[in-house]
Structure 1
Amino acid sequence: MRDPAEMEEAPVASSPVDRLAAAIAGAGGLVSSVLILVVLVITGAGVWMRYVMGRPLVGVEEATGFFVVAIVMFGAAEASRRDDHIRIDMILDKASPALRRWLDVWAQLSVLIFSIALLATAWHTVSFSRRFGAYSAGYLELPMWIPQSTMIVGGVLIALVCLARLFTLLRGGRA
């Protein structure tokens, strides 16, 4: 975790592409934040019902698992846009500004390739689950394509942020 003194504000979006990506990623981050509160509430209700009332709520653990995946998928793009993700800065700190820009380009391309692979795999998984009629094995018996769809949304959000950052870097700006 970064030292609060070193923490910066979120990068200021300078171009229309940056502003669009920031708005979309910010919306994903907002959804992620709300889902964290939802998980807190349903987990608290589950604990209360089980240990205080003696009547456990069925499906709480299953729903929490689905929500955790959604939290990660919706929040990853905003974390990347704000540089709140994990990376090794030792090389970047020693690099010249020109080399740093090209390392940033390489990093964004790597994440973009990952997000495209995630998108393709998630699309295949969701399509298969929908065609096959797969349901969750727990109490909720939820069609699996519904929670799996968050992987598609996350892949799109991450790809959009990467494309916006690449656009900025290749224009000569700092992402």
Structure 2
Amino acid sequence: MRFRLMPLYRLGGWGAAASMIAICGLVSVQVLFRLLDAILVLFGGDRLGLEIGGVSELAAYLLVGASFLGTAYTFTHHAHIRMSLLIQRLPARVRVFVETWCLGVALALNLLLCWSLWTLIQESLSYNDVSSGMLAIPLWIPQLTLLVGMSLMSLALLEALGSTTRTAVTAPASYQPFDEDAKEV
């Protein structure tokens, strides 16, 4: 299956990767600061007290980005966990319709999640919600990351549903599901 919006999904994947790199960088710098303080104390010096305030809070929000921005990219590369034990044993003519139904349900649930996230963002903006941690980060920022990731996933599901439905209608016997053999980019 070929995805026409693959550059968009790759952009989401790059956003997820950048989030993971930022988490790694923040935690590494914080560890280095603490290590420097420990070495100074060990040799009789005074602590410098260097630290990045709110590292755990920032890391948590970056983890949201890492988790949700990469969902469409992961889906288009057939890396999501799929419960295909039963479906793969069905004949191709039946399997294509079951896959179509499953993709339709997944898209409907994903669109419901997008709608709920959109209303949550509007509510956060109207009440000027900020995080309750050390840093006062407006909550709409991490919520927007969630919405962007799930919107990308909705697009990927819509593309997969369209392709699968086309196959179901035109040539159900020729259906090839997502599998490791179909490595198209």
Structure 2 length-normalised TM: 0.80
Larger Rg: 2
In the TM superposition, 1:141-156 aligns within 5 A as: 141-156=136-151
Question: 1:92 matched to which residue of 2?
Answer: 87
Question: 2:106 matched to which residue of 1?
Answer: 111
Q: Distance in 2 between matches of 1:151 and 1:158?
A: 11
Q: 4+ residue stretches of structure 1 with deviation over 2 A?
A: 50-56
In the TM superposition, 1:9-158 aligns within 5 A as: 11=1, 13=2, 18-20=3-5, 22-53=6-37, 54-158=49-153
Question: 2:46 matched to which residue of 1?
Answer: none
Q: Does 1:162 align with 2:157?
A: yes
Greater relative CO (CA pairs within 8 A, separation 6+): 2
Letter in 2 for 1:62: E
Asked if the contact 2:69/2:150 (under 8 Å) is kept, the reply is no
Note the residue ranges of structure 1 that are not aligned, 5 or more in a row: 1-10
Structure 1 length-normalised TM: 0.84
Note the residue ranges of structure 2 that are not aligned, 5 or more in a row: 38-48, 168-174, 179-185
Question: 1:8 matched to which residue of 2?
Answer: none
% same residue: 24
State the Cα distance separating 1:119 from its structure 2 match.
0.7
The DSSP-based 3-state class of the residue aligned with 2:161 is helix
Identify which range, 99-108 or 63-72, moves more after superposition.
99-108
Please give the per-residue CA displacement for 1:61-112, whole angstroms capped at 9, x wherever unaligned: 0000001111111001111111111121211221111222122212211221
Question: 2:41 matched to which residue of 1?
Answer: none
Question: What is the CA RMSD across the aligned residues, in angstroms?
Answer: 1.6
Letter in 2 for 1:29: G
